[in-house]
């Protein structure tokens, strides 16, 4: 690979990563809640595969190339999760296997939550809510509890909204709740 070719700034690829994660979580969460008639979590498979899987994985590689191992790990790992989930939708697996899958990936989200300490509400909040969503989904699969699965969907949708806001804030230079507005030297309160 030619090292003189720019992979894009870390900010621009991270913003794309937050946007891809946000949209994927919103699609998955809205489907899992059943809030829209005739739309289920499985209907988000294409978004999960291409936006959540492929896009996040590529963003992760670009983040690694830019020297940001933490974001590279987060986006490549989450890309692998979403690609696996999206391509596996419709496969015949036991509830226990589905629950184990979600709980194992919840461990990745827990690691990302711990690793993002000090990044503020947007950084740690997205990963913390993703962890909770996957944990609830995994327990719901083991217990066969549809209500718990819907609760996990709502938490996932909230994580998606938070990730989407983070990407939008970076692009629009809105407050990021770290004491500074994205791209400006002002506080979040003005």
CATH number, position 139: 1.25.40
- Residue 90 falls within a domain, yes or no? yes
**Locus of tokens 């979590």:** 41
| Mean pLDDT score across all residues of the chain | 87
Average pLDDT over residues 177-185: 54
- Residue 55 falls within a domain, yes or no? yes
pLDDT at position 10 is 42
Q: Would the pLDDT of 4 be above 50? A: no
Q: Would the pLDDT of 188 be above 60? A: no
- Residue 102 falls within a domain, yes or no? yes
What is the Cα gyration radius of the chain? 17
Closest by CA to 34, choosing from 147, 160, 120, 180, is 147
In the chain, how many domains are there? 1
pLDDT band for position 12 (50/70/90)?
Answer: confident
The number of angstroms, rounded, from the C-alpha of 149 to the middle of its chain's C-alpha atoms is: 17
As given in the structure block, the two tokens for residue 71 are 């974001």
> Could you tell me which residue, 182 or 102, shows the higher pLDDT?
102
- Residue 167 falls within a domain, yes or no? yes
The DSSP secondary-structure symbol of 189 reads T
- Residue 148 falls within a domain, yes or no? yes
pLDDT at position 109 is 98
Q: Would the pLDDT of 98 be above 50? A: yes
Half-sphere exposure of 63 (CA within 13 A, CB side): 25
Whether 24 contacts 50, CB under 8 Å: no
Q: How far apart are CA 99 and CA 137, in angstroms?
A: 7
- Residue 51 falls within a domain, yes or no? yes
Q: How far apart are CA 145 and CA 124, in angstroms?
A: 28
Poorest-pLDDT segment among 24-28, 41-45, 151-155: 41-45
pLDDT at position 120 is 79
Q: How far apart are CA 131 and CA 77, in angstroms?
A: 13
What pLDDT digit, counting tens, does each position of 147-156 carry?
999 999 999 9
- Residue 4 falls within a domain, yes or no? no
Q: Would the pLDDT of 187 be above 90? A: no
Q: How far apart are CA 142 and CA 100, in angstroms?
A: 8
What pTM did the predictor assign? 0.86
Give residue 145's domain range.
10-172
- Residue 182 falls within a domain, yes or no? no
Q: Which residues contact 175 (CB under 8 A, 6 or more apart)?
A: 169, 181, 182, 187, 188, 189
Q: Would the pLDDT of 128 be above 60? A: yes
């Amino acid at each position: 690979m030619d090292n003189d070719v720019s992979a894009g700034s870390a900010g621009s690829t991270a913003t794309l990563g937050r946007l891809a994660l946000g949209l994927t979580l919103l699609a998955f969460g809205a489907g899992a809640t059943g809030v829209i008639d005739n739309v289920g979590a499985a209907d988000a498979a294409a978004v999960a595969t291409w936006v959540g899987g492929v896009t996040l994985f590529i963003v992760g590689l670009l983040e690694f190339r830019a020297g940001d191992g933490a974001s590279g790990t987060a986006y490549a790992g989450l890309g692998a999760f979403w690609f696996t989930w999206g391509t596996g939708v419709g496969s015949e697996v036991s509830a226990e296997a589905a629950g184990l899958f979600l709980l194992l990936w919840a461990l990745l989200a827990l690691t990302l939550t711990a690793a993002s300490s000090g990044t503020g509400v947007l950084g740690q909040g997205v990963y913390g809510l993703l962890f909770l969503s996957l944990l609830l989904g995994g327990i719901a699969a083991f217990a066969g509890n549809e209500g718990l699965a819907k609760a996990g969907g709502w938490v996932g949708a909230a994580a998606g909204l938070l990730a989407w806001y983070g990407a939008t804030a970076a692009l629009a230079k809105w407050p990021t709740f770290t004491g500074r507005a994205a791209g400006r030297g002002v506080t979040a309160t003005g």
